[in-house]
Copies of this chain bind each other. A is one copy, B any other.
Amino acid sequence: MTAEFSFKILATDGKARRGEVSMPRGTIRTPAFMPVGTGGTVKTMYMDQVRELGADIILGNTYHLMLRPGAERVAKLGGLHEFARWPWPILTDSGGFQVMSLSKLRKLTEKGVTFRSHIDGAPYEMTPERSIEIQGLLDSDIQMQLDECTALPAPRKEIERAMDLSLRWAERCKAAFGDQPGKAMFGIVQGGDAADLRVRSAQALAAMGLKGYAVGGLAVGEPQAVMLDMLDVTCPELPADKPRYLMGVGTPDDILKSVARGIDMFDCVMPTRAGRHGLAYTRRGKVNLRNARHADDHRPLDEESDCPAARDYSRAYLHHLVRSQEALGAMLLTWNNLSYYQKLMQDIRASIEAGNFAESAAEISEGWARGDIPAL
């Protein structure tokens, strides 16, 4: 960890980067996957487990936390780290994405967004300044600018309007954030599936001299190829010496292909959400524990895993827990999934250091393609 927020690249392999984001609360080994701790908890996990799996940073959702328990309350209780018992780095989103996807009666203007809570209908106003204020109250280490994220497909005009608005909001967020050496505020590239808009957005943000840059508005309905095309045009426009964060992405395959294009940080609900729906990520691809083929299978998910959830419990038991909707099923599968994601990131980092990222990525992909062990 370092007193000032900093980023250094330790090794590169093609466009893939092995780096370190450092700040007072700790160091993030990149490429990094950030487990999602929506409402101050990584669902069904103890924070100790999340840490032990190798997570250097988790994500908190501003929208959820501002509604419940409330940002001012979290601040009075010592901040999100103290509240949720996670003393290491935390990144918070701006709240914008969930305002757009979850809230009711929202109204967007140049100034910001007014909306009503999806929980109790209470009215709120979210401006770039308020978003940064809330993230400060949460004591977030990496804060995100408020942006407007457009679901794809969308008319170019709409994408461009939202992208331009997001740039103006980035300036306001930068001003609101001010000078905080131990923390960072990241800008967010928008521009939908329009390459030229992505380039314009990235260049304008780069000119602002921010401490890090996110790519937003992807994995919002478009094919993977479109997402990768957008990364191909966006990453070269971003400063090489600053971390790059692809928001809300993604599958293990998305991650491999995005690292290959120069992305350093990821977050996604997939491993945690899938764990609550009976799905396990493994080196042999995705395994659906609801499937009757597991009912009599005494074998574990993956006998070679270091994770007790993958190694020590039979598929038959996991199947039983999932079918019976027992909490332990979600607990074990989420544990397995976060373990798999962190293992993937560890392998990615090691392969970049060793200079064989492409070969390693191909091997990992082959493992998924071979599929699960044959049924008994």
Instruction: List the interface of chain A (C-beta within 8 A of B).
Output: 39-41, 43-46, 68-69, 73, 76-78, 83-85, 295-296, 298, 312-314, 316-317, 319-321, 323-324, 326-328, 330-331
Distance, CA A323 to CA B73, complexed state (A): 15
- Contacting pair B68 A320 (CB below 8 A): yes
- Contacting pair A316 B73 (CB below 8 A): yes
Question: Taking the full assembly, how many copies of this chain does it contain?
Answer: 2
Contact flag A77-B328 (CB < 8 Å), given A41-B321, A68-B323, A69-B295: no
Among A45, A76, A312, A331, the one with the most B-chain Cβ atoms within 10 Å of its Cβ is: A331
- Contacting pair B46 A326 (CB below 8 A): no
Q: Which residues of B contact A320 (CB under 8 A)?
A: 39-40, 68-69, 83
- Contacting pair B316 A69 (CB below 8 A): yes
- Contacting pair B39 A326 (CB below 8 A): yes
Contact flag A44-B328 (CB < 8 Å), given A77-B298, A77-B314: yes
A-B contact pairs, 26 of them (CB 8 A): A39-B320, A39-B324, A40-B317, A40-B320, A41-B326, A43-B326, A43-B327, A44-B327, A44-B328, A68-B323, A69-B295, A69-B316, A69-B323, A73-B295, A73-B296, A73-B316, A76-B296, A77-B314, A77-B316, A78-B298, A83-B314, A84-B317, A85-B312, A327-B327, A327-B331, A331-B331
Q: Which residues of B contact A328 (CB under 8 A)?
A: 41, 43-46
